[in-house]
Amino acid sequence: MTHTEDPQPEGDGPFSDYPWPIVRTQPFGPFRAPAERSFLDVFESRRSTRALTSAPLESLVDVFRLALVSRFWKEDDALRRSRRPALSAGALHPISVLLFSDATVYRVNADACALEELDVSADLRADWVSKCKRVLPGAAGAFIALIADMARPMAAYGNSESLVWRDSGALLQTLALAAELYGLGFCPLGILGSEVVAALPEADQLVAVGAAAVGLPA
C-alpha cells in the first residue's frame, strides 16, 4: 500500500514553467454563447457518451474556453493564482489540456486564450489516438490528455502530488459539464497519457493525470 503524506503549504518558492515546444499559436475564435439551459438541466443531463464523431474545432474551443479560462487573477501573485469554474488546490490550476484533433496536437493555453500547436511527432499523435480508440472503440472524435506542470504546486506545497490528482478529477467533471452545455459528448478514460509526457522534451516536471474523448454524440 502506498503511504501518502498530507500536503504541506511551504511559502511560495521559485519555479520554472515547463517550456512547451510550440510551433505556432492560434487565438481562440470569438465567444459563442451556449444555449440557455438551467444549471439543474445540465447537471442532471450529463452522462458519459462513448459513441462520438468528430466535432468542429470551434465547438471544442467553446467548451475549453468556458471550462478553463480564468475569471479573476490574484493581483501581483508570483504563482498566478486564479479563479475558474473548476476547483483547484491553492487556486493554482496546474493542468493543461492537450488536444489530439484530426492532424494536430494542441496545448490549450487558457491563459492566452489560444491553441498552441505542439512540435510532436506524427507517430506520437497516431499512437495516442489508437490507444484511446482501443479503450473506446466507438469514439471517432478528438481525444484529450490532461498534463500537469508540477512546477507551481511544488513551489507552494510539500507532498503536492495528491492535490494535482484531485484537481484532475475536478477538471474532468467541469469539462464534462461544459461539453453537456454545448451539446457535445464527453467520456473520461482510465488511461493517463504518460507516453505523451515521455515523448515531450525534458519533461521531468510534467505528470500525465488523465484522458478523455470529446466530440459530437453519434
Cβ 49 to ligand FMN shortest distance, Å: 8
Cell 510532436 belongs to 120
Cβ 114 to ligand FMN shortest distance, Å: 28
Nearer to ligand FMN, 16 or 48 (CB): 48
Nearer to ligand FMN, 114 or 139 (CB): 139
Which DSSP letter does residue 185 get?
Answer: E
Cβ 168 to ligand FMN shortest distance, Å: 8
Which residue type occupies 177?
Answer: L
Nearer to ligand FMN, 37 or 134 (CB): 134
Closest CA to 118 of 100, 141, 93, 143: 100
Cβ 41 to ligand FMN shortest distance, Å: 15
Non-local (6+) Cβ contacts of 136 within 8 A are 50, 187, 189, 213
Question: From residue 147, how far is each of 36, 164, 211 by CA, in Å?
Answer: 32, 10, 9
Catalog residues that contact ligand FMN under the rule CB under 6 A.
47-48, 50, 135-136, 172, 187-190
Instruction: Classify 164 as helix, strand or coil.
Output: helix
CA dihedral 108, 186, 173, 182 (to 10 degrees): 80
Cβ 61 to ligand FMN shortest distance, Å: 23
Cβ 97 to ligand FMN shortest distance, Å: 15
Closest CA to 31 of 144, 115, 113, 116: 113
Nearer to ligand FMN, 60 or 213 (CB): 213
CA 67 centroid distance within chain:
9
Nearer to ligand FMN, 74 or 134 (CB): 134
Nearer to ligand FMN, 79 or 172 (CB): 172
